[in-house]
Structure 1
């Protein structure tokens, strides 16, 4: 199907409303794992994920992790290191489960 300009408008509006950095009563203890490929042009080659990470830290989030994968692009689960990405995500979740 074709995604219309109006569709993009509503998608961006929804993303803006859901942005946890803009919510006053955000759960600052929620674990966040930001992952990106260093060759991802959408994330400006690692620049945007680093900025996002810093924003969450500045907002007061207490458990924020960032992992950039060299030689990978936007779709990490379909890129060369997909097995490593899945393993890292699994280990990240296990670590937080053990902390409970």
Structure 2
């Protein structure tokens, strides 16, 4: 299987709190994958690490052949739950 996304032993700590522990999985190119779990399961932290918005504490992430989501940001679509729109910001500023 040719993979679009690979996580190997990924972990994320915030001080003493372990948000993600030793997460490993692959998503093949051309497949659709759901990422489900209860509140506090580490889904948002994992997505942020995949996108390169925050670093992992341990492990390896590869997305679209890159070791950092920022390198392939122009090929990734992401709509966060919290959109972060501000009343005084123009639409162009929000998109940028």
In the superposition, the TM-score normalised over structure 1's length comes to: 0.22
In the superposition, the TM-score normalised over structure 2's length comes to: 0.23
Name the structure with the higher strand share: 2
